[in-house]
Amino acid sequence: MPVFYGTEVESALLLGTAQYPSPAILAEAFRASRAGIATVSLRREQGGGQDFWALVAGLGARLLPNTAGCHTVKEAVTTAHMARELFDTRWIKLEVIGHTDTLQPDVFALLEAARILTDEGFEVFPYCTEDLTVCGRLLDAGCAVLMPWGAPIGSGRGLNNLWGLRALRAHFPEVPLVVDAGIGLPSHAAQAMELGFDAVLLNTAVAKAGDPVAMARAMALAVEAGRAACRADPMEPRDMAAPSTPVIGKAFLA
């Protein structure tokens, strides 16, 4: 099971709480997903009021508030402080958006905000790219978890840079890594786990599915399958065919 900042989480699936058709479907999808962590935006919570807070508190998952929608260091840090007071947790998923169309993180502002928040006692989960230098600087700033994107938020395109994600896993073998954003299908989630990542975070793929509950269940199974496959030490791909049936002992016709 993944361990984040010394806390073991029962599931490798992290699930967001936005955009569901109804509160009832949100709750049912979480039960089907068996997600160990629920991400929640402070702005979303304010919009839903106490009813929404009561709902997410009853999901049975640990809460990870985020700074979704923030575009500056000041805005992200202020939102993180408000989230800590409201949710009574030092955990914060740090998002500082740098590009409006792709929702790519502003890695310079992200690093600055991460330094400030870790110095102030937060346990930061930074939404970042798979860039090795950026990720190394985030670790130096005090982050003990990295959350590289698979593809742009809400795009459902899966893992756009397999080489980069593999390199990240290889360079930081002891660091908890979570693929965050871009997951659209269970096969994408399984692929991330097969690469050796510790967990997957998604939202839109479940919330916007025709049947969110069924998709949540499928994602849970995919994460489990991917993790099991990684631990099974899968075969390496080959360029040439290799017979699966041995030819030794084969009958020959005279």
- Token couple for 50: 């106490």
Query: Are 192 and 166 a contacting pair, CB within 8 Å?
Result: no
Of 235, 172, 217, 226, residue with least CA distance to 199: 226
The neighbour count for residue 136, using CB atoms within 10 Å, is 14
Name the DSSP letter for residue 235: P
Of 103, 89, 96, residue with least CA distance to 4: 89
Which of 74, 93, 208, 250 is labelled catalytic? 93
Query: Are 28 and 57 a contacting pair, CB within 8 Å?
Result: no
Of 17, 42, 39, residue with least CA distance to 28: 17
User: Can you say which residues are annotated as belonging to the binding site for 1-deoxy-D-xylulose 5-phosphate?
Assistant: 154, 181-182, 203-204
Q: Is 208 annotated in the active site?
A: no
Counted residue by residue, the chain has a size of 254
CA–CA distances in Å: residue 15 to residues 124, 166, 202, 223: 17, 23, 5, 12
Q: Which residue has the tokens 């020959």?
A: 252
* Torsion on CA atoms 55, 39, 11, 192, rounded to nearest 10: 140
- Please identify every residue annotated as catalytic: 93
